[in-house]
Amino acid sequence: MTLATNSILISTDQALSLLETVLHHSQAEDVTVTLNNTEESLTRFSENQISQNLTTRQFNLSITSYFGKRCASASTNELEPDAIIATLRRSEELAQVAPEDPEWVPPLEPQTYDDRMPGFDQETANLSPLRKGKIIQKVCQLATQSNIEASGTLSSEAILFAVANSRGLRACNRLTSADFSVTARIETGSAWTQRTACSVNQLPIKSLTETIINRALLSRNPREISPGIYPVVFDGAAFSDLLEWVIWNLDARAADEGRSFMSRTNSQGKPMGNRIGEPLFSFLIQVQRNPSHPLLQSSTFFNDGMKKDDLEIIKAGIPQTLFYSRYWAQKQGKTATGGMSPIVMLGSNQSLEDLIAQTERGILVSRAWYVRYVNPRTLEVTGMTRDGTFWIEQGKIAYPIKNMRFNQCLPELLAHVEALSSVERYGNTVAPGVKVKAFNFSSITDSV
């Protein structure tokens, strides 16, 4: 039996030394090198017992060589010097015969990064199968005591990522994360939730499991209601999935070319810029890119080495910026922003129960499932509720209802937000639960 594991991540000094070696041997006009060293562990459980336990360890060195506006990449998962040099020469050979890139931008100049260390927890990096097994055993015991069948995952990840180029850029970060998800099923009822943290010890696994067990017991024998437009209270886990769609679609190029809900058009329907500065959403919507948030403590730079600092995305319901790639920023005379992740939406000091208490009649949605585009231009999406959908009456959960399909324009969803709960972390997004005054359900679905 494996009692413990030791993280095999190379050190920051080793990573940067390796990148320097590649740069030293390069014969290209410019070169960018990235190194990704990852250890991921995953434990699955089903029907109140562990069904799978695995650990994957990866090392990937990627080299991009440049000759003018021609570039090409090659990668290797070997640490031996001969393999690395062969990969470097391969990228140079490919770059010399590659077509010129019409959207070429030069490698980044050196960046100034935030003076902080990303969240790295050694205990999470070394999390053993035995420790995970004991955690899952307690989850399964709680489920068994309530005649519930529990399934889900407990995962941990330790990452070292480094980037360097021939123009003097150097960066290296190490970080960890742990994620827990659980589904509880009993007869015709089910419930689900998920949570993420920098450390496995920060995951409230026992309280989450107890909450989901209680919600599953309440969800049995759901009733059918008519599709239509209803007030809705979204659990934070459900709302975060919808919020991400909005933020991912705040793309400057798509907006400027008339392909986005952020596009402005003239009377002939031709694009004429974007809608930055317009009050599109509820004044409660405050969204930032905030990698230093206590629940995240994420990397100080993006994969290309661009600094990842704080960025105001939506303030009091008004979009403040769009995502500008380096190419589109250069073309439009703007400043490149880097990606919008990690997403942080501000919440309040209220609980989800407070939002329910403020709802005279409406629906509680615990999970948004299988969300897909209907119309990218308006950001209308379709999806289904799942794992615990309830009718709210006079500020209380009255009874479970059958799951429904929704067709909803997401900018309108954010415009209809009228109350927020406190925030939690779901993946790389920090979001609150929300209450909205109108949400469109189009049909009943057989999803469970």
Six token digits for residue 66: 């440049």
* Both structure tokens of 15: 């990573």
Across the strands, what pairs with 267?
A: none
Contacts of 128 (CB under 8 A, 6+ apart): 2, 3, 4, 5
What tokens were used for 9? 């991540």
Per the listing, tokens 């069904």 go with 51
Separation CA 35–CA 405 (nearest Å)? 43
The length of the chain is 448
- Check if the beta carbon of residue 421 is closer than 8 Å to that of residue 354: yes
For residue 7, what pLDDT is reported? 57
Q: What is the mean pLDDT of residues 17-44?
A: 97
Q: Give this prediction's pTM.
A: 0.94
207-224 tens-digit pLDDT: 999 999 999 999 999 999
pLDDT tens profile 131-169 = 999 999 999 999 999 999 999 999 999 999 999 999 999
Mean pLDDT of 21-39: 97
The terminus-to-terminus CA distance of the chain in angstroms comes to 37
Distance between CA atoms of residues 216 and 367, nearest Å: 13
Asked if residue 400 lies in contact with residue 222, where contact means CB atoms within 8 angstroms, the answer is: yes
Measured over the CA atoms of residue 307, residue 310, residue 314 and residue 315, the dihedral's sign is: negative
Contact 213, 199 (CB under 8 A): no
What is the average per-residue pLDDT within 284-306? 97
Contact 222, 389 (CB under 8 A): yes
Residue 265 is predicted with a pLDDT of 85
Averaged pLDDT for residues 293-315: 97
CA angle 83, 88, 90 (to 5 degrees): 95
- Kindly report, residue by residue over 363-398, the tens digit of the pLDDT: 999 999 999 999 999 999 999 999 999 999 999 999
Q: Is residue 4 scored above 50 in pLDDT?
A: no
More confident residue, 447 or 311: 311
How far apart CA 420 and CA 418 sit, in angstroms, is: 7
pLDDT for position 1:
37
146: which 2 tokens?
């309530």
Residues 394-426: pLDDT tens digits? Answer: 999 999 999 999 999 999 999 999 999 999 999
Where residue 271 falls among pLDDT bands split at 50, 70, 90? confident
